[in-house]
Amino acid sequence: RDLQGTIRLRRVFQQMIANTGQERVWRTEIQAMRVFYEMERAGLRVDVRYCEETIENTKRRQAEIERELFTLVGREFNINSNKQVTQVMNGIGVRSSVSTPAGQQSWGKKLLDAEGEAAHPAIKLMREYKSWATLQGTYLEVFRRSGGTLHCTFKPWGTVTGRISSADPNVQNIPRAARG
């Protein structure tokens, strides 16, 4: 049934394309889709050794940031624990202007980004720490596990502006630090 429906739809759409004089556009789209398919199949080459080196560098930088942050606030705490961050930050007189749905202070990306350059030095350090963690977890670890070839999905329909986009992962959003 699905196949029969698809065949009927194809006939309808081909007739619409012919009626509007867009055969050339349709052929161009078909050729482009073949190119995108080949790009997806071939994949993107990944320098796994660079990823491993960069992961080690990000870990070192995160450890430096932790030491700086712990010295600044006067104690160690779990940077990824909202409860511990709240206790420590409130202890040095810094409160979050963003709340969780439960009404607790939030120290997530929304606050860290909103604070900007005027932020308390501890907030700046947490923002940098979390940006390195995101780089590592979202990109570098995925690239390292790729085995040297990354296969993403290209979507020519993915933007309003008409440019192609990609997904799984979105290689257009790779931060400069991960590009090498």
Q: Supply angle C-alpha 51, 55, 57, rounded to 5.
A: 115
**44 or 160, higher pLDDT:** 44
Enumerate the β-bridge partners of residue 149: 45
Measure Cα distances from 153 to 36, 41, 132, 134 in Å: 8, 9, 25, 21
What does the pLDDT look like over 73-129, one tens digit per residue? 999 999 989 889 999 999 999 888 888 888 888 888 777 777 777 788 998 999 899
For the chain, give the percent of residues with pLDDT over 90: 47
Using DSSP's 3-state secondary structure scheme, residue 150 falls into strand
Handedness of CA 132, 75, 81, 105 (dihedral sign): negative
Determine whether 171 is exposed, middle or buried from the number of CB atoms within 10 Å of its CB (0-12, 13-18, 19+). middle
Structure tokens at 20: 């509007």
